[in-house]
Amino acid sequence: MEKIKIGIIICDRYKTCAGGKCFRAVANREGVFSIYKDMDVEVAGFTTCGGCPGGNIEYAPEEMKKNGITHIHFATGFLVGYPPCPYMEHFKNFIEEKYGIKVIPGTHPVPQKYYLTHMKLNTWKDEFLMDSVENILGDEKTRLNYD
């Protein structure tokens, strides 16, 4: 079985988050982690962006790469926070260009309470955000399990 090392970067608004939903989603291969269904996955890095406008984005990926990480996930909080992170697309482009690490927006499925609010507010209207939430929307039952 192929082994892959991933890193997770969370929005600094949630810096006290213990990562429970992300780690559960990795273990269950839910949300965007379903792409690893046939792989052995190790979470080898977990940090915040460093706060707006993402001071840690410049440095954390270098350490992650030294530790064998080949994929970095931006935690679902980047997408479900109010408002979604306005820097995420820039962060993704920077990390992929500078470090050659694949960046994937999203981790665990969107909790139902966030889904309902964002649908009502039409928050995810631009192409980047729509593409980013596609793999973490899941179905209502899954979203309720992440509330």
Number of domains in the chain: 1
Backbone angles phi, psi at 25, to 5 degrees: -65, -35
Whole-angstrom Cα distance, residue 95 to residue 72? 9
Predicted TM-score of the model (pTM): 0.95
Q: Which of 43, 34, 24 is nearest to 135 (CA)?
A: 34
Domain containing 26 equals 2-145
Query: Model confidence over 102-133: pLDDT tens digits?
Result: 999 999 999 999 999 999 999 999 999 999 99
Whole-angstrom Cα distance, residue 69 to residue 64? 5
Q: What CATH number has the domain bearing residue 125?
A: 3.40.50
